[in-house]
A and B are shown apart, each in its own frame.
Chain A
Amino acid sequence: MSTLTAPKVDAPSTTATTAPFGLMAEFRTPAEIMDAAKRVHAAGYRYWDCHVPFPVHGLDKAMGVRRTILPVLVFGAGATGALVGFCLQAFANAASFSIWALVWVTGYPFLISGKPLMSVPAWIPVIFELTILLSALSTVGLMLLMNNLPRLSHPLLANNRFRRASDDRFFVVIEARDPKFLRSKTEAFLKSLGASHVEVVEDR
């Protein structure tokens, strides 16, 4: 690719005291990574991942990723938003009572042209907006939380070759903490998947 600087291969770590983060195998097409993912999954690895520049259709299924619980949580957040919207308006425009004559809960009841204080139909827009607001914010917040993001550094991000994971290359990374990880064996396994390049990712 004329558009990219040639990726520099990481200088091998001279102080090889720390264990590596894992092994990284590079593939060139969606079809190759799809095939590789199926075989890594079948081989029984647990701490491994595919890193791709765009969501390859069906790759998550091939990897055995289970469906996220996110929509259920977001439904809860939306319901909370609706409740908050209702309570906010009921308190602000209709509440006037005390708790054991000690704590007075009083909003600002507007009496306008004889309309009831609990004007629920007129509250629908605000209830709706707060439902959407809380759902949307929690969608993003929970998605990031479950993905362990934001993250300022990661061993993979320090690898020069890995930079193309956001461009046009597809990577399989098997982490060293995986119980089935054996450097030589895993390396041979990754090569057998048809990877164009396999390298060790240092943990730093």
Chain B
Amino acid sequence: MPSKPSMHLSSATKGFVDTDNTEQPIGGRAPLVLNMHRFGEVTHQVCRVAESKPPLAWYVAFVICLGMLGFLGICVNYLIFTGVGVWGLNNPVMWAYDITNFVFWVGIGHAGTLISAILFLFRQKWRTGINRFAEAMTIFAVICAGLFPGIHVGRVWLAYWLFPLPNSMEMWPQFRSPLLWDVFAVSTYFTVSLVFWYIGMVPDLATLRDRAKGKFQQFAYGLAAIGWRGSMRHWHRYEVAYLLLAALATPLVLSVHSVVSFDFAVSQVPGWHTTIFPPYFVAGAIFSGFAMVVSLAVPARELFGLKDLITLRHLDNMNKIILLTGCMVGYAYSMEFFIAWYSGAMYEKFAFVNRAFGQYWWAYWIMVSCNVITPQLFWFKKVRTSIPLMFILSIFVNVGMWFERFVIIVTSLANDFLPSSWDQFVPTWVDIGTMVGAFGLFGVLFLLFCRYLPMIAIAEVKAVMPEADPHAHGAHAHHGGPHDSHAGHGVPSGAMPALRDPRSSEGQP
């Protein structure tokens, strides 16, 4: 049924060869798990990443990221010991790289929650192949994001003032401020994402525990698996809890970037004071997040041999979402200009003309070419299914989305109401070092995750295999052949949902 069924793959090349499964056969769905028909094969394919030594490229990447992380440490310490003057901030540009990076990283996180929660509610079974590491990406991206507001407050040792804690001064935060909403939104987002990720991982940690050979691995994975035994009575509550978490995370993720956009939209700065910001920011966040998922998935499936689980169909679907959200972002850019003209407000008009043709024109046009033009290439299936092209385009989108935030924040501030107070922002080495270092932090965390934790949701992938259906082809799972004897035997996948069908009446005793 896959258009090019790869027949006799040896176990060495298994997972390292692409099979085209992007064509939907008539009367069925293209398989999401390729070349595997036994549950044990999926277990092995995913667990071997955590159980064997990683490839050389992993070590190289890890050392590079560790170096960048070290540099981040230097920059942050220099900032804390000297003051925010080490950044290129001035009056009126009081926010620049710090908040640009904050918004950029929070946005990256959104794709993870979209995949794990929204696609779950929409019962998109292909999410199972990518949700685990997309969620991990969310967690690490929000850690990177949290760093920036934490250090930009100046007196870092007073950062706890952000929270409503009783104190001897009898001072309380100002709850009408969007900046305070941000504190609640981002910390809730981090907590809920972490819990969602961890709870989703517990059954797979139990798998790693049960396969662990060493005493230490048994202990560590055993502790993390909190005694999970795959009991169906547990699964029943677990699935309900998972559905509830998905239903809670969906409005949460939409609220987080909306609240982030309120940081700007609620103020009166021309270029910021715009009602389109919340949906526009959310679309941009999903756009950049999916680009990051593609940027991470392409090398990961290559290095760890996960091409049968993160298939071309998964990548094709993600590229379609990038195309869709890219169009939404492009629409938002043009609508901003239209409203600036239509409003008749001269400051608003000036802010937008200045954005495109003022001192930061180059940033604006980088943004437009990366975010509006490059995703249009994804209209072509050749591009959507070409690994090198999608990787390059996803990097472009990441760059473009970073510039989008830079353009919004810096150009609006640099040329505000009074020409006498205009100034230009020029980043210092600390600005750039902190930005680069944050990628190091992200990389270190992500590489450690790839190395030690189940990168793919094993239990969920098994549940979307056609063999998992207890009614149809159940008897196929225990054929005794040593390897791949069934490659290409065509059972339409899609007979059963990934986890509990949200509408099913699971209640009858």
Q: Do A and B bind each other?
A: yes
Residue contact B509 to A66, C-beta cutoff 8 Å: yes
CB contacts (< 8 Å) of B239 on chain A: these are: 55
CB under 8 Å from chain B, chain A span 108-141:
108, 110, 112, 115, 119, 122-123, 125-126, 128-130, 132-133, 135-137, 139-140
Interface check A144, CB cutoff 8 A: yes
Which of A4, A64, A157 is within 8 Å of B229, CB to CB?
Answer: A157
* A65–B181 CA distance with the chains assembled, in angstroms: 42
Residue contact B506 to A67, C-beta cutoff 8 Å: yes
Residue contact A34 to B230, C-beta cutoff 8 Å: no
Interface check A49, CB cutoff 8 A: yes
Number of interface residues of A (CB under 8 A): 79
Residue contact A54 to B211, C-beta cutoff 8 Å: no
* A68–B181 CA distance with the chains assembled, in angstroms: 34
Residue contact A28 to B470, C-beta cutoff 8 Å: no
CB contacts (< 8 Å) of A123 on chain B: these are: 175-176
Residue of A nearest to B169 (CB): A108
CB under 8 Å from chain A, chain B span 473-502:
474-478, 482-483, 496-497, 499-501
Which of A92, A122, A143, A150 is within 8 Å of B241, CB to CB?
Answer: A143
Residue contact B232 to A68, C-beta cutoff 8 Å: no
CB contacts (< 8 Å) of B232 on chain A: these are: 37, 49-52, 55-56, 59-60, 63, 65
Residue of B nearest to A152 (CB): B227
CB contacts (< 8 Å) of B228 on chain A: these are: 149, 166
Number of interface residues of B (CB under 8 A): 84
Residue contact A57 to B469, C-beta cutoff 8 Å: yes
CB contacts (< 8 Å) of A28 on chain B: these are: 477-478
Residue contact A60 to B233, C-beta cutoff 8 Å: yes
Q: Most A CB atoms within 10 A — which of B164, B244, B249?
A: B244
* A51–B470 CA distance with the chains assembled, in angstroms: 15
Residue contact A125 to B229, C-beta cutoff 8 Å: no
CB contacts (< 8 Å) of B39 on chain A: these are: 53-54, 167-168
CB under 8 Å from chain A, chain B span 222-246:
222-223, 226-241, 244-245
Residue contact A122 to B506, C-beta cutoff 8 Å: no
CB under 8 Å from chain A, chain B span 161-193:
164, 170-176, 178, 180-181, 184-185, 188, 191-192
Q: A29-B474, A52-B232 are in contact. List 12 more A-B contacts (CB 8 A).
A: A28-B477, A29-B477, A29-B478, A30-B467, A30-B474, A33-B470, A126-B184, A133-B191, A136-B252, A139-B244, A143-B199, A144-B226
Interface residue ranges, B against A (CB under 8 Å): 38-41, 43-44, 164, 170-176, 178, 180-181, 184-185, 188, 191-192, 195-196, 199, 203, 206-207, 209-211, 222-223, 226-241, 244-245, 248-249, 251-252, 255, 259, 262, 458-460, 462-463, 467-471, 474-478, 482-483, 496-497, 499-501, 506-509
5 residue pairs A–B, Cβ–Cβ below 8 Å: A29-B470, A34-B471, A53-B39, A135-B244, A143-B240
